[in-house]
Amino acid sequence: MADECDTEHSVCGMSVAIDVVGGKWKLHLMWVLGEGPQRFGRIRALLPGVSEKVLTENLRHLESHGVVRREVFPEIPPRVEYSLTPAGVELAAALRPLEQWGERRRDGLFDPVSA
């Protein structure tokens, strides 16, 4: 499947996808937001290992790539919600088989060492 990437690596599909979602926290964020719109505090609570700074940077990255939308609701105090755009919904769907692979592995459907 890598044929079309050998000479023009920067334009292959996986490379484009990795630019958007490469990295542990971006994958986690896509998974968290796949559940529906979330407030910043809720996202932090769901991902306990990440600092506020890193979380903000990763959310901005996903926003700049058009897969996450940030909305501010004019309430007191203002409510800020993050959600998936249509492209983000497609991306989350494309990540679902990866999640399922992880579920099969977790359930021991193949041996992590000798498989």
- By the criterion CB under 8 A, which residues form the site for its own copies? 1-3, 5-6, 9, 11-18, 20-24, 27-28, 31-32, 34-35, 46-48, 65-67, 85-87, 90-106, 110-115
CB of 85 to its own copies, least distance (A): 6
Nearer to its own copies, 72 or 76 (CB): 72
CB of 8 to its own copies, least distance (A): 11
Nearer to its own copies, 59 or 92 (CB): 92
CB of 42 to its own copies, least distance (A): 10
Nearer to its own copies, 56 or 110 (CB): 110
36: left (phi over 0), alpha (psi -120 to 50) or beta: left
